[in-house]
Structure 1
């Protein structure tokens, strides 16, 4: 196996970052944490765990995930979020790879948890994500929200990443509030205009997609929970986009 650099972006992740770094060091000989000016103990914990910390104000999802790449000593990059861990099968798989093809990136199946409950309904599993790539031929797209790795070829493996997405349902709602604000900001940066109908239309579309197309209607409580939270997220990010324009207009009038 060729040497790999692990990269994590953080903002106030003191509860998760230690376990994430330890997980990366199972297969990486270097870990870089790109911290968005955390106000808790994230940076100190990361350094204690042996990671190199680079502090950078948040640039958006894709640009932030790409920011640490030039600092890596290795061409192979393994990117995790702070609330993610490599499952045992992913560790075994990565250790077995010869990584001879720089144009081939590797995807993993993500297990999304709410507390200790693994949610598999309405598209929450297998939730394929590409996380291992060679920086000479691949990298994160410069999207400020929901970026992904673009590579010449991708091999989707059956190995897993454990994603401790939410501590509980209350935390899920809190994260929707945070992420919908980030998404609204990113959409405004891209020049997407306000719309009276877009929040409702996207919420309805999300509900249909999760309940019908993803089978949530037949998947009990978890299917309904995923559908409703996805619809709420969709509604709020477009409602907040409208609010950003309204606030900007108000400031200009003063």
Structure 2
């Protein structure tokens, strides 16, 4: 099919092979945008026929948009290195008449895993994400953290993507630490202000949202885990933002 897959990477040697093999079931071109990996991510990608561009990380949205500028096709399948197309997604994409499609893009249901454990509680499923889109009619927002595809007419497919989000619970906590730092810097660059009570308020709001409004309180250990990690993530990114503001103020003085 005339679809270009775009994948952004940083030290994804353990994931990139399966990711590329997955998208090659429906794509005739694979572009990898690598953020200067220190492992053999690039070698593996090239050995599988992918075209690799190395680009220092620009932020989530800009980095994902970077590869699109080199795509030969109009339709883009943007997928993360730790994601895979399930069989129903491959079948759904193959059955699309993209040349005559009125949709600007298509979303998929995403299954998020910790190791081999599928987490479906407190909003972790169906976790819809737009992954297939027409580059002239839709695209990633220029957000440096947690960007998403925007378009006027986005359609839903009843098909799945597997997301091997975390290797284990230790990895989950490590990712929260890394992502909260990235989020804090992105907010600081946008001029987001923070008060000393803000971390607590956002953590509490996240906990209530996941436990009550997303039903986590009724979904056992997984529901509680999602609620607590969401609250922790919210607390850490705002406490780190407060730290950045305080450090910046000290330097100016």
Match of 1:192 in 2: 192
Alignment of 1:7-18 (within 5 A): 7-18=6-17
CA deviation string 1:90-142 (max 9, x = no partner): 00000010112264310000000000000110000000000100001110011
Residue 152 of structure 2 corresponds to which residue in structure 1? Answer: 152
TM-score (norm 1): 0.97
> Which is worse superposed, 46-55 or 222-231?
46-55
**Match for residue 3 of structure 1?**
2
Structure 1, 13-22 or 208-217: larger mean CA deviation: 13-22
Partner secondary structure for residue 81 of structure 1? coil
The 3-state SS of whatever aligns with 2:36 is coil
Where do 5+ consecutive residues of structure 2 fail to align?
none
Q: Which residue of 2 aligns with 1:162?
A: 162
TM-score (norm 2): 0.97
Q: Secondary structure at the match of 2:136?
A: coil
Question: Deviation at 1:250?
Answer: 3.0
Match of 2:89 in 1: 90
Measured after TM superposition, the shift of residue 151 of structure 1 is 1.1
Superposed CA RMSD: 1.0
Q: Is the 8 A contact 2:103 2:155 kept in 1?
A: no
Aligned partners of 2:121 and 2:222 also within 8 Å: yes
- Shift in Å at residue 248 of structure 1? 2.1
> What's 1:251 paired with?
251
- Note if contact 1:102-1:133 (Cα within 8 Å) is conserved in structure 2: no
Count of residue pairs brought into register by the alignment? 252
Consecutive unaligned residues in structure 1, runs of 5 or more? none
Matches within 5 A, 1:102-251: 103-251=103-251
